[in-house]
Structure formats: structure tokens, C-alpha cells
Amino acid sequence: MDVKVRKFSPKDISIVMEIEKHCYPKKPWSEKEFMKWYEKFPEGFLIAEVKGEPVGYIVITKDNIPSIVVKKDFRRQGIGKILVNEGIKNLGVKELKVHVRVSNKTVQEFNKKLGFKQIGLKKGYYKNGEDAIEMIKVVE
């Protein structure tokens, strides 16, 4: 599969919101939240496209991945890994941490495949009181 990764621009916000609402219909991020991250880390806000169709995005900072989403029909095809690696390269990241819901085994496994290791547990991390597994990846 030919995946093209490009930088987000503010004109892409409707595309990102469509993907966000598709994947998180109950609690999507707002446009304001996305634009806040873009203003802080424009090099870490990337869009993945397949045949010109936007299929996912990542918001990555120098030390964290606040959001990464790939449309359901395009998952398990390496797109998430491509987004993470491009974000790491763009920002020159040396160490990356993520927090994952204890109940989200799919994302935990995805992170392990990318080389993340569990380093702790954050009790009551999420608004609903669910714990988060803290994971870290050291970039070589």
C-alpha cells in the first residue's frame, strides 16, 4: 500500500474532524483542541493519505503522542507505524511517552509493536476514573 504522509494545514481541519468523529463519535476532540496542538507543534501534526484519501492523522510532541487515529477500514496495514515514525523524524524525538487506557488492549499491543515498554500505571488518569498504562519508547 502506498501511504503518503504530509503536514497538516488549517484548511485540513474539516478532514481531521471527519476522521475524529468517525472514530470517536461519543467524545471527539474539538476543532479548537486540534488547532491548539497545531500552533504548538506544527511539525508533529501529520495526515496520512492512501490514493489521495485522508485515512488518518497524528498529533505528536517532543515527548508524547496526544492523538493518533487511523480510519477503521485502514487499520492493521502499517499506517499508524508510518505516522509515528514520520512524527519522530520530523521532531527529532529521542524519547516518547504515551498513556493508554487499561481497557484498550488493541492500542497497548500497537505500542508494543512500535517498541514501547510499560513503565507505570496512572490511577484514575481519565475523566471517567479509568487507569492508564504509561509506556515509553527510547528512539535510537
Q: For the whole model, what pTM was predicted? A: 0.85
Domain count, the chain: 2
CB proximity list for 119: less than 8 A, separation 6 or greater: 97, 134, 135, 136
Whether 23 and 77 map to the same domain: the answer is: yes
* CATH number, domain with residue 124: 3.30.70
Task: For 32-55, write each residue's pLDDT tens digit.
Answer: 999 999 999 899 999 999 999 999
Whether 55 and 30 map to the same domain: the answer is: yes
Residue 93 phi/psi, 5-degree rounding, is -70, 140
Whether 140 shows a pLDDT value over 80: the answer reads no
Whether 24 and 62 map to the same domain: the answer is: yes
Task: For 58-104, write each residue's pLDDT tens digit.
Answer: 999 888 898 899 998 898 899 999 999 999 998 888 899 889 899 99
Domain range for 109 is 94-140
